Structure 1
Amino acid sequence: MGLSLGFAIILVIAVGAALAMQAPINAALAREVGDPTAAAAISFAIGFVVLAAITWYRGASISALTSLGGVPWWALMGGVLGAIWVWAAIWSVPRLGVVTMFGAMILGQLLAAIVLDARGAFGMEARPIDLTRITAIAMVAGGVLLSKA
């Protein structure tokens, strides 16, 4: 495993751990402000400020915004999908617990991912659906069921 591959895996594991903390933290924020949608908006506003500061610090030009005219509409949907994810996590974590909520989210991600891989969606290299991948997804589904048993 090369250094960049190893670093990428460690980074994603660390971000996964951070997401596990983010869900109950945002749920606590929702309890305090009294509404999960408001909590999601507050979370995104803070995230926007942090990312804007990092962008400014790195010296990125405002001209990047002018290139948005040539971007396909679907390439701008990440923020919408992220907002839905944060809201769903805030709403569901008090009802399901962190493990079950993340297991269900990961199951949804894997189901979508296997279809996206098979189609080579969004310019990605196509990867076939095979028994190993289906078994892996079935195991995650079993984990979701067991986590709430």
Structure 2
Amino acid sequence: MGWILAAVVLVGIAIAMQAPVNAALARELGGPIPAAAIAFGVGFAVLSVNALAQGQGEDFLKLPQVPAWTLIGGCLAAWYVLSAVWGVSALGVLTLISALILGQMTAAMVIDATGALGVTAREITPTGIAAAGLVMAGLILSRA
């Protein structure tokens, strides 16, 4: 479990880098939407090559059978990338990431409590609420 947490922390580092990199691409291209589209295209290529290299190419053929609602993840990811490209210049990386984490934690508590989106329902604890409160405090302090 510890290595999984460490891996996710490293991904968090990558997420913090993603917004300024995509914002730089947006400046070069002249807009956030083309930059987000290019970022997704590169990501698609990397993931496709990875899937093919691991022998999972046939899994793409299952796409017509998946529930339509499961494809909303791509829309949510596009919204995230576009918002981050737009927001990083106005807010800075620290405040942007703090706000994103607060939004993620708030939604995560609702999803966990209700078992929405196919996850196993989990009790929301006072400690979890306090953790979100601390992130909110961090967001406020990041603006000070």
TM-score range, shorter chain: over 0.9
Partner residue of 2:4?
A: 8
Q: Which moved more, 1:125-134 or 1:8-17?
A: 125-134
Partner residue of 2:22?
A: 26
Give the whole-Å Cα distance in 2 for the aligned partners of 1:103 and 1:72: 33
Specify the code of the residue in structure 1 equivalent to 2:142: S
Task: Provide the TM-score with structure 1 as the length reference.
Answer: 0.91
Aligned CA RMSD, in angstroms, stands at: 1.2
Any unmatched runs of 5+ in structure 1?
none
Deviation at 1:40, TM superposition (A): 0.3
Quick one: percent identity of the two aligned structures?
A: 49
Give the secondary structure class of the aligned counterpart of 1:77. helix
Specify the code of the residue in structure 2 equivalent to 1:110: M
Deviations 1:1-39 (A, max 9, x none): xxxx11211110011001111110111111111100110
Aligned length: 144
Task: Provide the TM-score with structure 2 as the length reference.
Answer: 0.94
Deviations 1:39-62 (A, max 9, x none): 000100111111111111112233
Specify the code of the residue in structure 2 equivalent to 1:75: T
Q: Which runs of 4+ in 1 moved over 6 A?
A: none
Partner residue of 1:145?
A: 140
Match of 2:97 among 97, 102, 114: 102
